[in-house]
């Protein structure tokens, strides 16, 4: 077997603090893999700048002039982690035999990439990096993640437990991924659907090297909700929220009036009437809200907007690049 061409895709959003280390560690790793003849010397690292507001792109660009293995892709604006990943892998797909995706913050164990490549060479199309321990995550993050996985399981969605977006995909599985055309692609749910030969490699996740998480609680909640319904439209969701509120108030009122009654306070008819009005009202709003979720999803999908727009693509440019007028 000829050595496979590997591209490591790294989405970056405001990562100037950590990027320097990430670039040097990844290039060293790639150099070693090349030396061991595990991957081709044509292998690359593709940094996707997801509309960063700091010096991320300048760093990537400068480094790419010095180091042949480093390439950059600049998106026109911030489109989020998942879409930035897609931009990277689809740009790299044609020129690579396999693509590894990894976060810029060095939380995932880089040495695992070597095992990914070995598994690929054994014939696996998809290799999942699975976190063994989540010590670095807060109790809250672990608990909510657990809840999310259980809920998805209940809904019958096939997810790889404790796997984030650290994985290897072969050229042909990427070709299949490209056929999933939904605007909101929930990768962790979609990739198992491809169904090609897959396996997992276990590792321990570390703390973020530097910088801050780009997934605060609010974004995390939103992300899981996207995963569950694949989409959302906020006003309709608010309607649903009102429904729940009214439903619970009715339960509370019901209990309250029954208690009053038990203590001898009577007001015939009124109790049951008011309680059931709130109950039915609440249930109806919940139902409308839920239907609205899915109508909203159809609305967003029907627009078929592009998931990302590439501003500058330096992936396929020959080296040395500073001699070329871009």
> What residues make contact with ligand UDP under the rule CB under 6 A?
11-13, 15, 50, 78, 80-81, 84, 103-105, 107, 213-215
CB of 47 closer than 8 Å to CB of 8: no
Candidates 216, 212, 164, 213; CA nearest to 191 is: 164
Q: What is the CA radius of gyration of the chain?
A: 25
Q: Which is nearer to ligand UDP, 138 or 325 (CB)?
A: 138
Enumerate the β-bridge partners of residue 71.
46
Enumerate the β-bridge partners of residue 127.
168, 199
Q: Which stretch binds Mg ion (CB under 5 A): 24-32, 107-115, 188-196, 240-248?
A: 107-115
- Residues 96-118 as b/e (b if ≥16 CB within 10 A, e otherwise) read bbbbbbbbbbbbbbbebbbbbbe
Q: Is 56 in the site for Mg ion (CB under 5 A)?
A: no
Which one of Mg ion, ligand UDP, none interacts with residue 80, CB within 5 to 8 A by kind? ligand UDP
CB of 15 to ligand UDP, least distance (A): 5
Q: Is 105 in the site for Mg ion (CB under 5 A)?
A: yes
CB of 97 to ligand UDP, least distance (A): 24
Question: 53-62, long-range: CB within 8 Å, 24+ apart, which pairs?
Answer: 53/14, 54/14, 54/15, 54/16, 55/16, 56/12, 56/13, 56/14, 56/15, 56/16, 56/19, 59/16, 59/19, 59/20, 59/23, 60/12, 60/19, 60/23, 61/314
What DSSP letter does each residue of 107-121 carry, written as one string? Answer: -S-TTHHHHHHHHHH
CB of 214 to ligand UDP, least distance (A): 3
d(CA 103, CA 86): 13
Distance of alpha carbon 224 from the chain centroid: 9
Q: Which is nearer to ligand UDP, 15 or 63 (CB)?
A: 15
Q: Which is nearer to ligand UDP, 210 or 288 (CB)?
A: 210
CB of 233 to ligand UDP, least distance (A): 21
Site string for Mg ion, 117-146 (x = CB under 5 A): ------------------------------
Q: Which is nearer to ligand UDP, 4 or 11 (CB)?
A: 11
Q: What is the DSSP letter of 309?
A: -
What DSSP letter does each residue of 35-94 carry, written as one string? Answer: HTTSS-TT-EEEEEE-S-SSTHHHHHHHHHHH-TTEEEEEESS---HHHHHHHHHHHHGG
Which one of Mg ion, ligand UDP, none interacts with residue 278, CB within 5 to 8 A by kind? none
Which one of ligand UDP, Mg ion, none interacts with residue 97, CB within 5 to 8 A by kind? none
Q: Is 107 in the site for Mg ion (CB under 5 A)?
A: yes
Q: Which is nearer to ligand UDP, 30 or 145 (CB)?
A: 145
CB of 219 to ligand UDP, least distance (A): 8
CB of 56 to ligand UDP, least distance (A): 8
Q: How many residues does the chain have?
A: 326
Name the residue whose CB lies closest to Mg ion.
105
Q: Is 101 in the site for Mg ion (CB under 5 A)?
A: no
Q: Is 165 in the site for Mg ion (CB under 5 A)?
A: no
Which one of ligand UDP, Mg ion, none interacts with residue 13, CB within 5 to 8 A by kind? ligand UDP
Q: Which is nearer to Mg ion, 66 or 133 (CB)?
A: 133
Which one of Mg ion, ligand UDP, none interacts with residue 40, CB within 5 to 8 A by kind? none
Q: Is 34 left (phi over 0), alpha (psi -120 to 50) or beta?
A: alpha
Binding residues for Mg ion, per CB under 5 A? 103, 105, 107
């Amino acid at each position: 077997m000829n050595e496979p061409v590997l591209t490591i895709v790294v989405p970056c959003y405001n990562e100037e603090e950590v990027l320097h280390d990430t670039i040097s560690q990844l290039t060293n790793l790639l150099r070693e893999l090349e030396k061991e003849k595990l991957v081709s010397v044509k292998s690359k690292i593709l940094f996707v700048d997801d509309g960063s507001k700091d010096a991320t792109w300048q760093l990537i660009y400068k480094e790419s002039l010095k180091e042949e293995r480093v390439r950059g892709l600049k998106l026109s604006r911030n489109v989020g982690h998942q879409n930035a990943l897609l931009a990277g892998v689809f740009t790299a797909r044609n020129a690579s035999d396999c693509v590894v995706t990894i976060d810029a913050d060095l939380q995932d164990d880089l040495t695992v990439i070597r095992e990914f490549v070995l598994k690929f060479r054994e014939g696996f199309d998809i290799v999942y990096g699975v976190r063994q321990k989540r010590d670095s995550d807060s109790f809250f993050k672990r608990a909510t993640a657990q809840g999310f996985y259980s809920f998805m399981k209940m809904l019958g969605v096939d997810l790889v437990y404790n796997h984030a977006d650290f994985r290897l995909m072969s050229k042909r599985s990427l070709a299949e991924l490209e056929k999933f055309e939904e605007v909101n692609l929930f990768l962790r749910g979609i990739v198992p659907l491809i169904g090609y030969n897959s396996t997992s490699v276990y590792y321990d996740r570390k703390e973020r090297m530097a910088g801050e998480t780009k997934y605060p609680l609010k974004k995390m909640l939103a992300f899981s909700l996207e995963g569950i319904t694949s989409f959302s439209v906020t006003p309709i969701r608010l309607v649903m929220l009102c429904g729940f509120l009214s439903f619970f108030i009715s339960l509370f009122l019901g209990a309250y009036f029954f208690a009053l009654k038990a203590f001898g306070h009577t007001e015939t008819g009124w109790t049951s009437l008011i309680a059931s009005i709130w109950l039915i009202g609440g249930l109806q709003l919940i139902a409308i809200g839920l239907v609205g979720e899915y109508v909203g999803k159809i609305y967003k999908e029907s627009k078929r907007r592009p998931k990302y727009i590439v501003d500058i693509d330096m992936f396929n440019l020959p080296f040395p690049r500073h001699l070329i007028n871009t």
